[in-house]
Chain A
Amino acid sequence: MMLAHLPLLEQGIFVLAALVLFTSFALLAQTRLTAAIHSFAWQGIMVALVTVLVAMVSHIHHLYLSALLTFSLKSLLIPWMLHRLVRRLNMEREVEMISHPAILLLTGAVLVIFSYWIALPIERLGLGNTRNIVAISLSVVLLGLWMMVSRRQVIAQVLGFMSMENGLFLAAVASTKGMPLVVELGVAFDVLVAAVLFGIFFFHISESIESLDVDRLNRLSEREEIS
């Protein structure tokens, strides 16, 4: 497939999809919580824009609604809630030490290649021009999970989780022109509830152990108490 033969709008979809991938890496490498939340918000904006473009190309009108939903939820509401949480926990200036940022990012790159390899058979199914985006969305999902594995800060983990959801949404939009609206509404609601619950939990966790470092949560295990 040659990019040059596509209309400008579809080229735009590719650029935005690539930018979504970039924001995933930005999220992975950000050590400051507020900056990471901003990256996440940007990712939401990109995903929403992709949705708008797909809607314009395919003339599916309910996609405009999901774009609006994504935008308001993932680039405004959730980042705002996380921001507020960070402020209330006095963690605005907190910087997490990443011991080997280069290895973190290189592993990310390997994950991208891996998801491309995995997605190759899917591409052959031929789901239209945007099928290549499946590989990108899969890498966004894996990068989100990798972020949850590699970061200790619990808010960073939540961001990883949320960006996984972004990846799934991107896959749905790009390959099958979106899910049915009911499903999307349900997922969006789920994410919102998850965000609220996370917020409440963090508050309690940080009150009881005075940190949001997940590595310190293992003190709750019984083994520790016996010894």
Chain B
Amino acid sequence: MADFLSVSGWLLVFLQGLLFLVGAPLMVGWIRLIKSRLQNRRGPGITQPLRDLYKLFGKEVLVAHSASIVFRTAPYIVLASTLVAVSIVPLLSANLPSAMAADMIVLVGFLALGRFFLALAGMDVGSSFGGMGSSREMLVSALAEPAMLMAVFTLAMSAHSTNLSSVVEFNLGSGLILRPSFLFALLGLVLVAIAETGRIPIDNPATHLELTMIHEAMILEYSGRHLAMMEWAAQLKLMLYGVLIANLFFPWGIATELSVMSLATGLLAVVGKLLVLGILVAVAETVLAKMRLFKVPQYLNLAFLLTLLGLFSHVILESGT
């Protein structure tokens, strides 16, 4: 608890929040760029999502007559809860004071809070598309939750802590160990991340076909700055999962002390990891097709199975008496 009061630590939390805010649209831009190159298009520049957000802020806000106060506050709650969630994920440095205040389970909780209001906002106007999106989103997230938690469990049972900073430090400290449990947890978490961030094959972020939308259906009625906040939160969530996967399973390069040099190394390392991850996502999205909604349970079953095997291999292979 002692390092909780360090000013530099909290400055770092603030800095990394800003980095997330700027980085998330850039990461989406990067994925889109790679995707368009893979499809033989030139594609817009990497800063296009940032410019889109800026443009949306200047636009007029339209709100349906039937919308209630929930519709208008939801963007703020969704963005704020996602921001709180990203501020506890180690981005540059393993040692975050905010990770003390909230562990992995709280992280999951905050993402759930954002989703809860997102889904409520989808129901608020009373259009059929909004309800459809909410219903599907809640189904996907409900089925993803056990897998997510099992992955968290596998990590936490090895590190004996649910504190994100501690887990990163544990992985960093134990060097290169081939843990079958981590392999499975990683695979499972990747599948969960794809489902939770609404990427192909679960949901297509670029779709404009109403009947297949999930995330887009929920924010159908939003415009102007409200829409910008919702989009921003979704992009933040994507980057959050990316950083989580990159820094939990491949923690190398992350700063362990608060010096400019090591923070710069940490930044370079995490940018490098995210670029690679972005390429992987783009390739996967180009190769795969979106699946039917009722195939999604099978997909998430697989994710759960993987994380379950991760747990079993932890119990059977790694911690035998």
Contact = CB atoms under 8 A, between A and B. Distances in A.
Q: Within 8 Å by CB, do A and B touch in the complex?
A: yes
| Most B CB within 10 A of own CB, among A29, A101, A132, A136 | A132
Contacts of A123: 320-321
Contact of A18 (B176, B184, B301, B302): B184
Taking residues whose C-beta sits less than 8 angstroms from the other chain, chain A's interface range is: 20 to 34
Contacts, number: 71
Contact of B178 (A8, A29, A112): A8
Contact of B315 (A11, A21, A116): A116
B3 interface: no
Contact count band on B = 20 to 34
Interface in A1-40: 1, 3-4, 8, 11-12, 14-15, 17-19, 21-22, 25, 29
A112 B312 contact: yes
B318 A3 contact: yes
Contact of A15 (B183, B315, B316): B183
Given A102-B301, A105-B301, A123-B320, A18 B180 contact: yes
Nearest to B308: A109
A135 interface: yes
A133 interface: yes
B84 interface: no
Nearest to A115: B316
Given A3-B177, A22-B184, A105-B305, A14 B318 contact: yes
Given A22-B184, A105-B301, A135 B177 contact: no
Contact of B317 (A18, A102, A109, A113): A18
Interface in A120-167: 123-124, 131-133, 135-136
29 contacts: A1-B320, A1-B321, A8-B178, A11-B178, A11-B179, A14-B313, A14-B318, A15-B179, A15-B180, A18-B184, A18-B309, A18-B313, A18-B317, A21-B309, A21-B313, A22-B184, A22-B309, A25-B305, A29-B302, A29-B305, A101-B298, A101-B301, A105-B301, A105-B305, A109-B308, A116-B312, A116-B315, A124-B321, A135-B316
The 9 closest A-B pairs by CB, nearest first: A18-B180, A11-B178, A18-B313, A15-B180, A3-B318, A14-B317, A132-B320, A15-B178, A135-B316
Given A14-B317, A123-B321, 9 more contacts: A8-B176, A15-B178, A19-B180, A25-B305, A116-B316, A123-B320, A132-B320, A135-B316, A136-B316
